[in-house]
């Protein structure tokens, strides 16, 4: 239950985070996230509170770029998946030229250096060469970006700040807290955290003994909160309410977190989503999935594991258009036969999925992405299953544009089912519905482990 008073408290906190007076005076927002998403409710209500304008999608999500160009929003409430797709699309566009890749890297460093000195210039040579076209995709008038809903990688965050030449705030929240628990500040250029607690909210970390997490011996524990923006519980469900809110009034978020010396909070993972491997290591699938989805050949990733094995497995939705182009552009060539259906430009999605060479190649690309983003050895998957996805809602964002893995996949399970809200594999907030995914692919995961163990 979210009461009106709780929503007003959250709106007040959000208003104080929007320090840019021009953005406050004339906010323009495009509503594209599901209205069941608390972030979209806050964004739209804040816009109305400030007397601004809201543009709604004229059709399905594939028309978002056209709507953005027409409405020209000056602030953007978004989720990491959107920014990640933008980042990977641009990176892939410049990857064919070593010179352009180095120039882009230097451009990002230069932009960030200027921002740390307080300059948000949008008319420099780097804007002409790279960033203006990226900004124009979203209307060209974005002045502030607030990103929440899931972890966002450091590389993606730095790229977004440079590309849009504006403050990009990472935030953390949950529906039970009416959306916001922590958020960054305009003049904070550090990364890897979700900012400081919002006003009037109290938080602490508690031990999680079953995971071996003791706050006094590592600084990591489950985040519990208390404040005027927190829910009073579930409607007519005292049992669920007692599991959410303890006898002392602390709301248990289910998220594992730690605090930096300056008060900034880092989200480590989900208590319920984390699983333990045979060697005793806990894997946070949210973190692993966020990193692996930076691979331009991948659209969706679901990571899971069984505690009697030493590795995780993943179910992956590839981006077939990017995968075909990658296979075509490979210098070593794509192994073909006289059968034209084996050519990446002509074979079907199912044929690509069933090709052992393609599966090996995609696993190698995922391993490269994981290594580049600092995933540990036990966090990298040793086997995966490919899913077909013809209409991933964010596919169009591509248009913008010390680990050794000793194990190799020996067997794969293929399916044509994608992650959607309709089949209940995504929640209304567009997050992975892990309980449904685990039930749906329970036999698939068991088979992957059995076949992998037999092959080893």
Domain end point (choices 140, 166, 192): 166
Query: What is residue 392's predicted lDDT score, i.e. its pLDDT?
Result: 34
Structural element, H or E, at residue 172: strand 168-172
Same domain, 48 and 69: yes
Domain end point (choices 144, 166, 188): 166
In the predicted model, is pLDDT for residue 393 greater than 70? no
What are the angstrom distances between the C-alpha of 390 and each of 63, 299, 348, 393? Answer: 16, 10, 12, 9
In percent, the amount of the chain with pLDDT more than 70 equals: 86
In a domain, 207, yes or no: yes
In the predicted model, is pLDDT for residue 146 greater than 80? yes
Q: What is the pLDDT of residues 423-450, one digit of tens each?
A: 889 887 778 888 898 888 888 888 888 7
Q: What is the pLDDT of residues 168-215, one digit of tens each?
A: 989 999 999 998 899 988 888 888 899 999 999 999 999 998 888 899
Q: What is the CATH number of the domain that holds 402?
A: 3.30.300.30
Q: Among residues 63, 77, 66, which one has the least CA distance to residue 23? A: 77
Q: What is the pLDDT of residues 255-293, one digit of tens each?
A: 999 999 999 999 888 888 888 777 677 788 888 888 888
Q: Which long-range contacts (CB under 8 A, 24 or more apart) does 434-443 make?
A: 434/272, 434/273, 434/285, 434/302, 437/302, 437/304, 437/315, 438/304, 441/302, 441/304, 441/315, 441/385, 441/415
In a domain, 254, yes or no: yes
Same domain, 36 and 148: yes
Same domain, 389 and 249: no
Q: What is the three-state SS of 362-412?
A: HHHHHHHHHHHCCCCHHHCEEEEEEECCCCCCCHHHHHCCCCCCCCCCCCC
326-345: average pLDDT = 62
Query: What is residue 240's predicted lDDT score, i.e. its pLDDT?
Result: 92
Q: What is the CATH number of the domain that holds 33?
A: 3.40.50
Determine how many CB atoms are found less than 10 A away from the CB of residue 152. Answer: 25
CA dihedral defined by 27, 31, 36, 42, rounded to 10 degrees? -10
Q: How far apart are CA 160 and CA 397, in angstroms?
A: 14
CA dihedral defined by 136, 134, 52, 119, rounded to 10 degrees? -110
In the predicted model, is pLDDT for residue 410 greater than 70? no
Strand partners, 147: 78, 170
In a domain, 177, yes or no: no
Same domain, 132 and 238: no
3-state helix, strand, coil in the chain (%, to 5): 40, 20, 40
List Cβ neighbours of 122 (8 Å cut-off, separation of 6 or more): 131, 132, 135, 165
Q: How would residue 221 be classed by pLDDT, with cut points 50, 70 and 90? A: very high
At 22 the three-state DSSP class reads helix
Same domain, 216 and 332: no
Q: What is the pLDDT of residues 16-72, one digit of tens each?
A: 777 655 666 788 999 988 888 888 999 999 899 888 999 998 887 778 889 999 999
List Cβ neighbours of 176 (8 Å cut-off, separation of 6 or more): 230, 231, 244, 251, 253
At 222 the three-state DSSP class reads strand
In a domain, 59, yes or no: yes
Q: What is the pTM of this model?
A: 0.74
Q: How would residue 397 be classed by pLDDT, with cut points 50, 70 and 90? A: very low
Q: How far apart are CA 413 and CA 407, in angstroms?
A: 17
Q: How far apart are CA 181 and CA 169, in angstroms?
A: 13
In the predicted model, is pLDDT for residue 11 greater than 60? yes
Same domain, 347 and 243: no
In a domain, 100, yes or no: yes
Instruction: Classify the C-alpha dihedral 320-321-327-328 as positive or negative.
Output: positive
- Residue 257 near residue 268 (C-beta atoms within 8 A): yes
Q: How far apart are CA 107 and CA 127, in angstroms?
A: 9
Structural element, H or E, at residue 53: strand 53-56
Instruction: Classify the C-alpha dihedral 175-177-181-185 as positive or negative.
Output: positive
In a domain, 363, yes or no: yes
- Residue 291 near residue 373 (C-beta atoms within 8 A): yes
In a domain, 11, yes or no: no
At 238 the three-state DSSP class reads helix
Question: Per the structure, how many domains does the chain have?
Answer: 3
- Residue 353 near residue 428 (C-beta atoms within 8 A): no
Structural element, H or E, at residue 46: helix 38-49
> What DSSP string describes 291-358?
HHTTSTTEEEEEEE--TTSSSEEEEEEE-HHHHHHHHHH-TT-----SSGGGSTTTS-HHHHHH-HHH
Structural domain including 45 reads 21-166
In a domain, 179, yes or no: no
Q: What is the CATH number of the domain that holds 262?
A: 2.30.38.10
Query: What is residue 164's predicted lDDT score, i.e. its pLDDT?
Result: 95
Instruction: Classify the C-alpha dihedral 234-239-243-247 as positive or negative.
Output: positive
- Give the E-state strand segments of 63-130 in sequence order: 75-78
In the predicted model, is pLDDT for residue 162 greater than 70? yes
What b-and-e string marks burial along 309-335, b requiring 16 or more CB atoms within 10 Å of the CB? bebbbbbbbbbbebbbbbbeeeeeebe
What are the angstrom distances between the C-alpha of 100 and each of 46, 93, 204, 297? Answer: 40, 9, 46, 20
Q: How far apart are CA 448 and CA 456, in angstroms?
A: 12
Same domain, 238 and 145: no
Same domain, 115 and 152: yes
Identify which has the larger pLDDT, 309 or 103. Answer: 103
Mean pLDDT of the chain: 82
In percent, the amount of the chain with pLDDT more than 90 equals: 30
Same domain, 266 and 356: no
Same domain, 118 and 149: yes
Query: What is residue 388's predicted lDDT score, i.e. its pLDDT?
Result: 45
Identify which has the larger pLDDT, 348 or 390. Answer: 348
| Burial of 91 per CB tally in 10 Å (0-12, 13-18, 19+) | middle
Relative to beta strand 182-183, strand 381-386 is unpaired
Looking at the chain, how many residues does it have? 456
Query: What is residue 373's predicted lDDT score, i.e. its pLDDT?
Result: 75
Q: Among residues 77, 75, 36, which one has the least CA distance to residue 52? A: 75
Same domain, 257 and 286: no
Domain end point (choices 147, 166, 185): 166
Same domain, 346 and 286: yes
């Amino acid at each position: 239950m979210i009461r009106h008073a709780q929503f007003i408290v959250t709106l007040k906190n959000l208003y104080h985070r929007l320090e840019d007076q021009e953005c406050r005076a004339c906010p323009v927002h495009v509503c594209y996230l599901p209205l069941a998403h608390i972030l979209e409710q806050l964004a739209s209500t804040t816009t109305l509170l400030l007397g601004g304008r809201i543009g709604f999608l004229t059709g399905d999500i594939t028309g978002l770029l056209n709507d953005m160009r027409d409405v020209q929003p000056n602030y953007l409430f978004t989720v990491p998946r959107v920014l990640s797709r933008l980042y990977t699309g641009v990176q892939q566009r410049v990857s064919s030229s070593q010179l352009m890749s180095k120039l882009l890297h230097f451009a990002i460093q230069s932009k960030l250096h200027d921002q740390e000195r307080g300059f948000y210039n949008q008319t420099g040579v780097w804007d002409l060469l790279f960033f203006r076209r990226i900004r124009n995709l979203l209307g060209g008038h974005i002045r502030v970006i607030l990103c929440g809903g899931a972890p966002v990688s450091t590389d993606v965050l730095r790229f977004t700040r440079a590309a849009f030449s504006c403050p990009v705030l990472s935030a953390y929240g949950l529906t039970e807290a009416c959306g916001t628990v922590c958020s960054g500040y305009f003049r904070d250029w550090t990364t890897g955290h979700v900012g400081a607690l919002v006003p009037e909210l109290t938080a602490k970390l508690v031990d999680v003994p079953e995971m071996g997490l003791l706050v006094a011996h590592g600084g990591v524990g489950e985040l519990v909160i208390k404040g005027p923006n927190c829910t009073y519980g579930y409607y007519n469900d005292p049992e669920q309410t007692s599991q959410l809110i303890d006898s002392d009034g602390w709301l248990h978020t289910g998220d594992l977190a730690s605090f930096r010396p300056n008060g900034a909070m880092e989200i480590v993972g989900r208590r319920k989503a984390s699983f333990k491997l045979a060697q005793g290591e806990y894997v946070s699938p949210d973190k692993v999935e966020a990193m692996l989805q930076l691979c331009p050949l991948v659209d969706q990733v679901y990571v899971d594991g069984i505690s009697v094995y030493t590795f995780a497995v993943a179910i992956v939705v590839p981006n077939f258009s990017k995968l075909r182009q990658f296979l075509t552009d490979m210098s070593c060539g794509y192994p073909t036969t006289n059968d034209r259906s084996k050519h990446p430009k002509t074979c079907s999605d199912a044929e690509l999925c069933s090709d052992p060479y393609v599966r090996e190649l995609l696993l190698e690309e995922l391993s490269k992405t994981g290594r580049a983003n600092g995933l540990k050895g036990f966090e990298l998957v040793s086997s995966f299953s490919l899913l077909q996805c013809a209409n991933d809602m964010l596919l169009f964002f591509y248009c913008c544009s010390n680990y050794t893995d000793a194990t190799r996949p020996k067997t794969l399970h293929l399916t044509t089912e994608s992650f959607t809200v309709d089949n209940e594999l995504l929640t209304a907030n567009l997050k992975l519905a892990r309980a449904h995914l685990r039930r749906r692919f329970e036999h698939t995961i068991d088979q992957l482990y059995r076949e992998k163990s037999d092959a080893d």
